[in-house]
Structure 1
Amino acid sequence: MLKNLFLILFSAFISLALVEIGLRLFDPLNFEPHISRKQANVPLVNLENYFCEGGPVRRVGHDVVYSRETPNQSYFEVRNEIASFLEFNEYGFRGAFSSGDDKAQIMVLGDSFTRGTLADETETIPALLSQWSEDSYFVNLGTGGHGTLQHALTYDEFQDQIPHDTVLMFIFNRNDLIDNVMFQEWQENPGTRSHTPTFFQQVKRDLGKLYVGKLVFRFKHVLFDRDLYASTPTETEKALLFESLRHLSQSVNSNGARLFVFSLPDISEFIGEDTITFRDNPVGYADASRALIAQAAEENGFTYLNLKPALVEFSEDLGIPTSSLFGSPDHHMQEIGNFAVATTVARLLEDQGISAFEPDEEFVDRTRFEPTNIACP
């Protein structure tokens, strides 16, 4: 009996090993699409980062907003076909809290799009706005994975520390509303999401590094996970969005400042229907989310701008697909996408008398690192 069980387990192990070797040799399902990681000339932590300062723990827990980047670290983020260099200040955000001169400071809230994933220090949205502005410095308070509830709490945390009369918040239509739900669950029971993985969570992570594991998780996602994401915002998502926007608007108003809210579209809104996306109806979900933000703007008196038409117009002027403003397979904004967003935001802020700008006439890649030659600055 034991011998038969041993033979079965041994045969299963050999079979899985052969499948693993075959998938790694041929990679028919493109499990390693980030070309830069294969080209990198340095060892990567978690197959993604090379630390210049700090590390290897990129994010740490936070008592109020769940998580934040580890303070005082710098590293290369290796994704898609590029290597981007990121530096974080003593609070865990990109860039300094002050320009060091007499420029007015404008607070910028958001998730990883504001943080500037896929962008070097000179090409994030706040960095571009700061470079172009004659009289304002844009403080980047973006943190990846945060929703609008966390954006509002981040403003509460730093509102007295950063003198300001203007606040910008970017909402990502794909998942910020879901992030609110997950964050509320953590607030109600912090033990539901721990930064220290349990034994089973660690096993799942280790399995996910294997090609066989990637195959299993991909089938699970296609067969089951898409049912988790509704094609219209749920009542809970709506309630938490309204709560966060009302809270932030009231806090900003109490400081005598003005709030501007921008919605960022998802690449799923610009690709063909035959492509598997995050939701069955990404355009419908995004349209419904934008309508909710517009409603909140009317009720709370802040200025709202839907950035989707501006991105479509920008890409049409260049004769490129709007989807090319996003990365692939990592679908954050590429630096040229950040340029398109910053150009639109600068135009609005100048029209509103907030700041004066001299934008570049066309995208300039001020900083560039090659994956084959990564070296700390």
Structure 2
Amino acid sequence: MRNPLSDKIVSIPPSGIRKFFDIVNEMEDAISLGVGEPDFDTPWHIREEGIYSLEKGRTFYTSNAGLKDLKDEISRYLSRRFDVNYDPDQEVMVTVGGSEAIDAAMRAMLNPGDEVLIPQPSYVSYVPCAVLADGVPVVIELEEKDHFKLTPEKLLEKITDKTKILVLPFPNNPTGAIMERHELEEIARIAVEKDIFVISDEIYSELTYTDNHVTIASLPGMKERTVLINGFSKSYAMTGWRLGYAAAPEVILKQMLKIHQYAIMCAPTTSQYAAVAALRDGDKDVEMMRESYNQRRRYLLNAFREMGIDCFEPLGAFYTFPNISRFGMSSEEFATTLLKEEKVAVVPGTAFGDCGEGFVRISYAYSLKNLKEALSRIGRFVKRHDGKA
């Protein structure tokens, strides 16, 4: 019998995040700090709008690019929050989560052999999406000494005449690193000089704990070469609604929309109506959740200090990325042993790239009650293994 499988697909490993999540689901009394999902319910006024849309029988397809009202609200939101202006009719499309937008952007832009620069540690989808689009992923290894930021030096080292796209994953999953305006200005200068495009994944843009997030698309010369990706999962606690969006130059978005037409048709109608309510009236909800995450962030960092665990201060997203190299275990061994001995699940840093070795990702998108119990167990684990390193 002929092999029914694609060699390209078989070569792509499954997500390292889901492995521990699946184990936890079957383990009694286990606490998971491994999944990047807000513990908040979607705010009521957003859910109510979704319910109302169903009651009104709004169960039809929307246009491929999304509801006009939603695209208009996305355009207004990006303008008022991040000072970047997009034509809602030609430069904005609604997707099934931010992940679909990443996939569509790469497939729309890459020719076979084009190189995609991917800073790591970072979200698990970038490399597979590049491979699926027949691009060549080129990893830029970020370092703790640089607070896991992308530096101009590291970027320039990896640019070749085949480089077409730079993925800019900030605020970062898994490290919590951010890029400030002056740092983005250096990256933008290089992008313009070297004529490369940027896919800027800004799904955590509202979860920044210093000054407001800055999008590279707002910098001179960058809007025309940037695909800005965002969504509703993290900021508005809408993970299950599966809704994201892309804002990009019309010449790129037109081709992304073609892929979306054939592969998806349109994003869920109910979710789109709910998202309109989120953007119109959700600023206070976002602020409340951000303040809560910030409280948890400070709590975790203080607990790590008391345990003697090194962890640089993350200023975005809802993750910490503590250094566990002193325990003499690989990241995988540390996570596996912690789960076995204390029933606490964290994610090995290597799930986000080889340079994540020596770290684990701990999400604080969980209640303080769960975090306190989990950290108590981690404290026991640290005392037990500290002398064994």
TM interval, short-chain normalised: under 0.3
TM-score (norm 1): 0.28
Higher relative contact order (CA 8 A, sep 6+): 2
TM-score (norm 2): 0.27
